[in-house]
């Protein structure tokens, strides 16, 4: 294989067109264009080189396993990878459907086996939203086990394992899996993004923010970590940084809803009910009358539209969807905030304890969230905090 490239520099833009060519046949295996602002030339060189390296890694991995695939399976696999990046996992023409077709055509095509484990781990997290009857918890566990058996040399395998361990709250194993994925593929943006989320939650903030920026630079559609970064800055009352990252989310239509969720939570913390109302109206326009969503539930709870009993009823309704422990933890946190702001202190504590049982690691939230101020000196809260501190300390010993 040979890599060659053309470089164009304008007064405002650096553009690189890179391709990978098989010498023996002259076949162009890979071709992609990368752009960066010319004023950031030194930083741009590093990011563009990493983007090229990641693109080549994926293509060379596919090429190396072509004998176990078929042209049809490889084409389906490539489409599925794009769907995973776009978070289209479940449903017609989603990543799962495409990868299942690929594996029917080529059962031992290892890149598809590893990516199937990734897709199932993502599907499990969102299972309550898609209403699927499939047991994604069991399917994810099986797929990760299979990938570890037949494709242990692929970064995607260890990334899938890391996501699975996050879902079940095995934090140390999750960190070890993400570190292994990045040892195998230092430019793997998805692994950087997921690890940055854990760092932002579990006290390694500066590294988490830096890693989130790197993930977004490597793959501009990977902005999920920016919601965590924005939230951390809000907890630290750095509102300028909060708005910087929220604005980045809102520039991508796919993340409008995530930005709204973060905005309504932060507005609730600081008693900004006008912003809560604005977020509620915007959420209605986004979901077009669908069932209750996280923004509307939080907004109605914060505005006093729901009674204490109705807030609990909404929480219990969510549990009927069979959420993963990771999703359950997040929902407990949001509901605890509502209860704390509304003055239902025992309920707030009960939800914090429930989050802890579901393997909470969000030490920044416990220590800094304004919604928890009224319960922070309670012995029940202090017991949870001690548990979380021990959990966080243990997870970074890899």
CATH of residue 145: 1.25.40.10
Residue 11's Cα: distance from chain center in Å? 36
Q: Which of 64, 86, 103 is the last residue of a domain?
A: 64
pTM of this structure: 0.86
Indicate whether 76 and 6 sit together in one domain: no
79 part of a folded domain: yes
Indicate whether 54 and 88 sit together in one domain: no
Owning domain of residue 43 = 2-64
224 part of a folded domain: yes
Helices 189-201 & 224-235, crossing angle to 10 degrees? 20
368 part of a folded domain: no
Helix (H) or strand (E) holding 297: helix 294-303
Spatial distance between the Cα atoms of 169 and 358, rounded to a whole number of angstroms: 7
Helices 345-357 & 325-342, crossing angle to 10 degrees? 170
pLDDT in tens, the chain (398 residues): 888 888 888 888 878 888 888 888 888 877 878 777 766 666 667 777 888 888 888 888 998 998 999 999 999 999 999 899 878 899 889 999 999 999 999 999 999 999 999 999 999 877 644 456 788 999 999 999 999 999 999 999 999 999 999 988 899 999 999 999 999 999 999 999 999 989 988 878 889 889 988 888 888 777 877 888 888 899 999 988 898 889 888 888 778 888 899 999 999 999 999 999 999 998 887 765 545 688 999 999 999 999 999 999 999 988 887 788 888 999 999 999 999 999 999 999 999 999 999 889 999 999 999 999 999 999 999 999 999 999 999 998 86
200 part of a folded domain: yes
Spatial distance between the Cα atoms of 220 and 71, rounded to a whole number of angstroms: 29
393 part of a folded domain: no
Helix (H) or strand (E) holding 29: strand 28-37
Spatial distance between the Cα atoms of 122 and 137, rounded to a whole number of angstroms: 10
Scored b (16 or more CB within 10 A) or e, 294-306 reads bbbbbbbbbeeeb
CATH number at 221 reads 1.25.40
> How many domains does one find in the chain?
3
Evaluated on CA atoms 153, 175, 79, 322, the torsion sign reads: positive
353 part of a folded domain: no
Indicate whether 159 and 210 sit together in one domain: no
Helices 110-125 & 136-150, crossing angle to 10 degrees? 150
167 contacts 329 by C-beta, under 8 angstroms: no
Indicate whether 70 and 150 sit together in one domain: yes
Indicate whether 94 and 140 sit together in one domain: yes
């Amino acid at each position: 294989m040979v890599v060659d490239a053309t470089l164009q520099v304008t007064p405002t833009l650096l553009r690189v067109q890179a391709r990978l060519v098989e010498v023996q046949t002259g076949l162009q295996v890979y071709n992609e264009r990368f752009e960066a602002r010319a004023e950031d030339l030194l930083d741009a060189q590093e990011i563009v080189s990493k983007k090229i390296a990641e693109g080549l890694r994926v293509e060379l991995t596919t090429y190396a396993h072509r004998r176990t695939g078929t042209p049809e399976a490889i084409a389906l696999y490539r489409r599925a990878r794009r769907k995973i990046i776009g978070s289209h996992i479940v449903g017609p023409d989603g990543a799962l459907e495409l990868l299942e077709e690929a594996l029917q055509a080529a059962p031992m095509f290892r890149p598809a086996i590893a990516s199937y484990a990734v897709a199932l781990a993502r599907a499990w997290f969102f299972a309550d939203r898609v209403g699927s009857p499939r047991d994604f918890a069991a399917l994810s566990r099986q797929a990760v086990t299979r990938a570890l058996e037949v494709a242990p040399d692929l970064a995607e395998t260890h990334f899938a394992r890391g996501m699975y361990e996050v879902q079940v709250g095995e934090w140390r194993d999750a960190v070890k899996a993400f570190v292994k994925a990045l040892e195998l593929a230092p430019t793997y943006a998805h692994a950087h993004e997921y690890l940055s989320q854990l760092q932002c939650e579990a006290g390694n903030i500066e590294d988490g923010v830096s890693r989130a920026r790197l993930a977004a630079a490597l793959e501009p559609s990977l902005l999920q970590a920016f919601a965590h970064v924005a939230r951390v800055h809000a907890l630290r009352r750095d509102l300028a940084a909060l708005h910087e990252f929220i604005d980045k989310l809102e520039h991508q239509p796919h993340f409008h809803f995530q930005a709204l969720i973060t905005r309504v939570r932060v507005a609730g913390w600081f008693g900004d009910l006008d912003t809560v109302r604005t977020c509620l109206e915007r959420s209605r326009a986004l979901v077009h009358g669908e069932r209750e969503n996280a923004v509307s539930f939080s907004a109605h709870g914060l505005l006093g539209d729901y009674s204490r009993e109705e807030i609990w009823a909404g929480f219990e309704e969510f549990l009927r969807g069979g959420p993963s422990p990771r999703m359950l933890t997040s929902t407990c946190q949001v509901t605890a905030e509502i209860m704390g702001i509304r003055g239902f202190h025992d309920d707030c504590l009960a939800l914090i304890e429930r989050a802890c049982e579901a393997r909470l690691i969000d030490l920044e939230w416990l220590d800094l969230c304004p919604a928890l101020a009224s319960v922070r000196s309670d012995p029940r809260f202090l017991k949870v905090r001690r548990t979380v501190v021990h959990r966080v300390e243990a997870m970074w010993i890899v």
